[in-house]
Structures are given as structure tokens and as C-alpha cells.
Chain A
Amino acid sequence: MTAVDLEAKSLLKRFGSHVAVDSLSFAVTRGSFFSILGPSGCGKTTLLRMIAGFIGPDSGDIEIGGRSMQGVPPNRRPVNMVFQQLALFPMMSVGENVAYGLARRGVGRAEREAKVAAMLERVGLPGAAGKRTDELSGGQRQRVAIARSLVLEPTLLLLDEPLGALDLKLRERMKIELKQLQAAFGTTFVYITHDQSEALVLSDQVAVMNAGRFEQVGSPQALYYSPATPFVAGFVGANNRIEGRVSALHGALADVTTPEGWVVRAQIQAAPDGRRPSVGDAATAFVRPEVAVLGRTAADLDRPTIAPGDEAAPVHEGVVESLLFDGANSAVLLREARSRAEFRVALPQTGRYADLKVDERVLFTFAPERAVCFATGGGGTGGGHG
């Protein structure tokens, strides 16, 4: 099997009566880009600070590179951290910042300077060693912060929302740079974010965290296309959320009927404990805006089939509430005719339907196997709208 660089074993951290990190266990494979995605206050920073060693867990253990970190202080752990506000030393030059860790290890001056120059070159800042940190742009400071950590060749690089302080344009660019840096260095990255697009774009594996626990750990595709819990379905990507009760089962599909009688057919997702919904159970269905297709008439509609040999997908009716123009992400917000529930449908890239008018009546449909539904009865958890 592939080597594991970080392993958490039932990590638990309490602040007073509040459980910030709730018996977490997970493993991160060597050389991968692992993201922890979750809403504000779910315990991400607490988890990262436990890995870095700034706070000790109440119970459980952390192994880095196969070695238990119990009682190992932050300055002796083979991990380095990139702080949210970067924490570059303002009293030192860029070169001194990058050389800081090497100097602490007793690396000689000449070797230090050579390594710093090489590292700055690799992060695209050749010759910047003599500059002051406040002479750099936001993106350059970001790269210095990463260089300062990577020059120590850590087993693990921890990043706590490092792009949070940057403006949108720069964030987009740094996202790509981060991914390229990680690929070039092959260092294992553990990356914290509350921005689902960052997590999806960058990561090999994403853990969706909620209230101190991981709801799901998987590839970005797995999280997006087969969310394991309603929280993940609601948090990762945009999703239409339809609540009701299971009215019929068709093999792997279920009909979820809202109190107003709108029937939505979707793929059944088993709960983490293996429970599957049966007829009469409370259930929530999620339909992605880009899964649904629009039509002005039934003939217009490219109706997907449910399964080979089965009848075509059900057609729904709605009224245009508003048009949400956002370039390639443009969508139309409908009100479903029967339930008056909001439903978002992505507009095709061809520009078709760009002429839709508010209050116009339209039809829409989607392949049920590309929508998901969960039994939400009993201890079901709710999630925010992504």
C-alpha cells in the first residue's frame, strides 16, 4: 500500500463543554494534497494546530511519518505551517525569512544562502532575497511564506486558509500556483479552507468537516457526484434541496413527494450507518442545477431516460422567477408550479433560453440517477445551501 504521512487516531479536543474536534480518525497518503473543507467554527483550525503541535489533544494520537507526536513540541515536528496571515517576519528581509528555519537547524551561512536562492528561484522569486517583506505584493508574500516552510523539506505542510487574505483574482491565480508547487515538490499538503471551489480544484482528497467530525472523505468527484450525507450535498457545490417523504421505491431510485404533492425522483444514498429509506420515511432530495434541462414545450425537452428499457424521466413545470446571469455560470431561478418551491437550473452554454422572461412558464427535467436522496428521519442532519 501507499505510505501514510499523517495518521490521526480518534483525536478529541474540548474547549470547556464544547467539543471542537470529535474523535477524528483519518490518514493522509504521502505526496497527496489533502483538504479539510468545512464551515466557519467547525474545528478546522483546532485540528491543524493539534497536528502542528500548538495545542495538545485531550485524547487520541497523531502519527507523522509513522512516528507518534505525543509530547513532541512544534519546533521538533517534521511539519511546517503556512499561517492565514502568513506571519512573515517584518524585521527580516525575504532571504532572512526563508533562511530562518535553516539557521535554527545550524546550517552554515554559505549553504543557507545557496538553498535560499534556489528555493526563491523555484517559487518564482529569483533575486528577491534582499527585499523587505513589505515591498512584495500579496501573491509574492504568499510564495515567500510557502518557500520559508518548504525549504525545510517537511514531511507535511499545513496551510490554514492561506488564500483567505487575497482578493478574488489573485486567489484564482494562487490556487493554480499552489497546485503546481505541490506537484513540483511532492510534499504532502494538508490544506484548510471553507471555500469549496478551492478544495475541489486543488485536492486529491477532501474531507468535509462539520461540527468537529468528518462527514465524508473522498475525491472531489466523489464528494460532488455522490455525497454521503445531506450536509455534504448541501455544502459542496450548488444544489437544489427538496424535502418530503418517500412515496415509492423503484430499485435504486425513490420518489420523494413534498407536502404539496410535487414528486421528485432521485437515486437513493444509503446513510453512513447503511440505513436505506423505505416508503413513508422523511427524505431530502438534492438536484444539481447543471443536471436539469429546460424546455418551453415537451417536444423541446431532451428527456433523459431513467434506465434502459424504462420510461423517460418525469417532467416538471415551473415559472421563471429571475434570471441569474453570471457568464458561464448563468442560471435561471424557477418556482415549481405545484409546490412554489425554488428550483435553480443552469442555462446551457449555447445561449439558448437566454431570452427567458420573468413569469414565463417552462418545463424542466433531470435524470433521476444524477440526483440523490437521503432518509432524513430521526437524527438526520441538515446542511446549509452551498
Chain B
Amino acid sequence: MAEVGSKTTRLLLLGLLLAPALVWLVGVILLPHLDLALLSFRERIGPGEFSWSLAQYRTFFAEPLYWDVFVRTAVISVIATGLTLLIAFPIAWTIAKLTRGRVSALLFAVCLIPFWVSETVRTLGWMILLRETGVLPAVLVSLGITDTPVEMLYRDATILVGLVYTSLLFMVVPLYSSLESLDDSLIEAAYDLGGSGWTVLRTVVIPHAAPGITAGCIVVFMLTLGNYLTASLLGGKNSLWFTEQIYTQFITRFNWEQGAAFGFLLLALSSLMVWLGLRLSGQKFADVMSRT
């Protein structure tokens, strides 16, 4: 009879159990990225001839368009994350602390509604509302606020609105779970000891919810930074998003080397921002990840 607990058997079993995850990790994430990394450090010097170089990265810094779009993408993503946090916090607070049972469930459902339709349809909905001949400009004219319909699409603010709208749920959920676990009597105790609404928020609620806040911000920031559809449809040609640049290099220009370099720059940016976020909030990565 085979010894069930023997070391090789157990290793084999562990290997089998982890196989799907390993295949996924190596095959779908690691290999393509390695290939992309190699690609990004190549330069075409003749038909079918390549050599190692940093040319792709040099182009990025030399060409103001790329640099501008990169910075804009980063800045708008940060603003979108901040706005999402500001809007999601009261929602999560209401669901976690002020309502019970059915009302809580209903509020959650309301946050979920945007996800019942595909991102494309959702974004097209915004376009119907905001384009020059759309609903909102017409309302503004009929209210006498503007003389002629204004084009509300293709601005940074438009992208912001769309991104916040799509991201809300991903912020509400971790915030909700961290606020839910906050004992009501701590809030009451703080209030009882002379705290005002603001100081209780600052000294008790936010420190308790910090892992949830950080988790939500990281998820939303990554989603926003890597968003393609909402940003490109609502931003159009006036307000470019960095993912569009990557797309253009790969698909339109067929310049895979440049696209790969851009991809890595975006990866570096998001890693840097996550690291910064963790440093600033004093959170541990493992702590935060268990909240997502």
C-alpha cells in the first residue's frame, strides 16, 4: 500500500492542485510579458533585422505628445481615484452604518446596476447624454444657461465622469467591508469623549478603514489607468489616453517594439503609484490585499 503521507506523493498532489494557477501564471502572464520586455528593447535596423537598443524608450521621452498623454493619464487617474473615494465613502457609510437589511441590499444593487450592461453600451449612454446634439446640452439651452448647445464630450472632465461612474462599485465594496467591521460603540465612545463629527472621522473611522481605503484606491487606480473603452470613447481625439497610444502602436502602426515599451512604462507607473500609496498610507500589502 502506498504511503499517503510520503513526501513525493504530497509534492505531486500539491503540484496537481496548483497546476491551473501555475499554467495561468506562467503561460498567460509571465511568458507574454517576458516576450514584450525583449520586444521593447529591440530596434529595427533593416527589413527583418533587429538589434538591442533603448530607442523605444528614448522616443517616449523625446516626443512631447507621448509624454503629455502619459502624464495626463496619470493625473486624471489619480483625480478619478480621489473623486471615486469621496463619492463612495458616504455611500459605503450609508450602507454599512445607517441602513439595515433590505435597504442596504437595495443600495448595493443600485451600485451594481451600471454593470448589468456592457461597458460599451454604458459608455455610449454617456455619449448620448453629453454629445452636442444630446440630452444634457439641450436641457442647458432650454433652461437658458447656454445660448447654443455645447459639446460636452472629448474633454478631460468627461473622461473623469465616465471613469468615476465605472469605478464606483470597486471602491464601495472594500470600503463597505472595512466600515462594516467598525464597532459602532467605538464611534459612540469617541463622540462621548468630546469628539466632533470630523475628529471622530479622522481619529477613529479613517484609521480603522485605512486598509479598505487603500485597497479600493489601488483597484480603482489600476482599473482607471488601464481603461481603454471609456477613456477613448469619451475622450476622443482631444483628450488622449495612454492605452490608446499602446493600441495605436500595436494595431495601427504595427510598431510592436514601441507598443511594448509603452506597455512597460504603464506597468512601471502603476507599480510606482501603488508603492507610493502603500508608503503614504502606512499599509502592508498583504493586509490590503486581504481586503480586496
Contact = CB atoms under 8 A, between A and B. Distances in A.
A245 interface: no
A52 interface: yes
Contact of B207 (A75, A91, A105): A91
Contacts of B188: 54, 74, 81, 83, 87
B192 interface: yes
Contacts of A81: 188-189, 192
A79 B191 CA distance: 11
Interface in A72-122: 73-76, 79-81, 83-85, 87, 89-92, 100-101, 104-105
B149 interface: no
Contacts of A83: 185, 188-189
B174 to A, nearest CB: 18
Contacts of A24: none
Interface stretch (B51-59, B129-137, B195-203, B258-266): B195-203
A200 B203 CA distance: 39
Given A75-B191, A104-B194, A87 B199 contact: no
B186 interface: yes
B145 interface: no
Interface string B224-260: 0000000000000000000000000000000000000
A85 B189 CA distance: 11
A148 B193 CA distance: 8
Nearest to B206: A91
A112 to B, nearest CB: 13
B138 to A, nearest CB: 47
Contacts of A74: 188, 191-192
A101 B193 contact: yes
B291 interface: no
Nearest to A149: B193
A160 to B, nearest CB: 10
A87 B191 CA distance: 12
Contact of A52 (B186, B190, B192): B192
B196 to A, nearest CB: 6
B208 interface: yes
Interface of B: 183, 185-186, 188-196, 199, 203-204, 207-208
7 contacts: A54-B192, A75-B195, A87-B188, A89-B203, A91-B204, A104-B199, A149-B193
